[in-house]
Amino acid sequence: MNKIYLMCVGLLFLLSSCSNKERVSDAFGNFEAVETIVSAEATGKLVDFNIEEGQTIDAGYVAGRIDIDQLNLKRMQIEAQKNTTKTKFKNVFAQINVLQEQKKTALVEKNRIEKLLKNEAATKKQLEDINGSIDVINKQISTIETQNNTTTEELKGLDVQLRQIDDQIDKSSVVNPVKGTVLMKLAEKSEVVNYGKPLYKIADLNVLELRVYVSGSQLPDVKIGGKVKVLIDKGKNDFREMEGAVSWISSKAEFTPKIIQTKEERVNLVYAVKVRVANDGSLKIGMPGEVVFK
């Protein structure tokens, strides 16, 4: 009889605990992390790829390298073309210098003729001839300077091409953008990858977010930055308490997701809320959790 009595008391206690748990917890959801998919920014063979799933890497870590042999060859070709253009540039300057010297000589001759003309020792025809020669020289200089401008623009265009090649070479290195843990490896060394090909997925697991859903009546108790109590499973009949902070509240209501509530409750409109929780290693992506608003 005593055994039956104790069993009944234990059952009532268990039911009371479950009831208390349901009464205490204000919202339910699952943990998630901000996942970043790192993709290739160049096309070619993946000659190096130094990551493994579960590995923690820092931002700026060079996770891999795509073959750049063709880019280097193209860069050498543009450099050679640039050197050839520079030679043309020097020749243009040399021609201008020769014409400038001719112009100086013509101006000296013009001054001499003007003085002689004042003394009636020269004719107007001689002055007209020298002025004509100066005009011809000026036109020749102007024509060559136009060629010089064309050569300058050509050099600028080659410099732009070199910067483009350098940018492509830089992007051939797979640089990890954020500190975190590699969740999934999506490529292997020696594969030929195209621009935009996903290489791996990474997330910072030091802080996870518990996405829960609250009703309109609960919403006034939820504030950005507000501290909350987070409950996670600890064994079959127990919970572990952790502290969290509300980091985001949806501005629009939605129907309760199917994975969260029963069929009857899915017709209710709720608001999505994210709670940031510091992870000591016990939290996992997709793990269920409960929230008690303080």
pLDDT at 277: 97
CATH of domain 38-68+173-202: 2.40.50.100
- 18 pLDDT more than 60: no
Rounded to two decimals, the pTM is 0.66
260 confidence band (pLDDT: 50, 70, 90): low
How far, in Å, CA of 245 to CA of 225, rounded? 5
243 touches 279 (CB < 8 A): no
- The string of pLDDT tens digits covering residues 127-157 is 888 888 888 888 888 777 777 777 778 888 9
Our measurement of the distance from residue 294's CA atom to the centroid of its chain's CA atoms, rounded to an integer in Å, reads 38
CATH number of 26-35+204-293: 2.40.30.170
The conformational region for residue 127 under phi > 0 = left, psi -120 to 50 = alpha, else beta, is alpha
Considering the four listed CATH numbers 2.120.10, 1.20.120, 1.10.287, 3.30.460, the one that applies to the domain covering 69-171 is 1.10.287
Instruction: Determine the Cα–Cα distance for residues 148 and 96; give it in Å rounded to an integer.
Output: 10
* pLDDT, tens only, 67-98: 999 999 999 999 999 888 877 766 777 777 88
Start-end ranges of CATH 2.40.30.170 in the chain? 26-35+204-293
> φ and ψ at 224, to 5 degrees?
-60, 130
Domain with CATH 1.10.287 in the chain: 69-171
Contact 210, 244 (CB under 8 A): yes
pLDDT range class, residue 269, cuts 50, 70, 90: confident
What contacts 229, CB < 8 A, 6 or more positions away?
A: 241, 242, 243, 244, 291, 292, 293, 294
Where do you find CATH 2.40.50.100 in the chain? 38-68+173-202
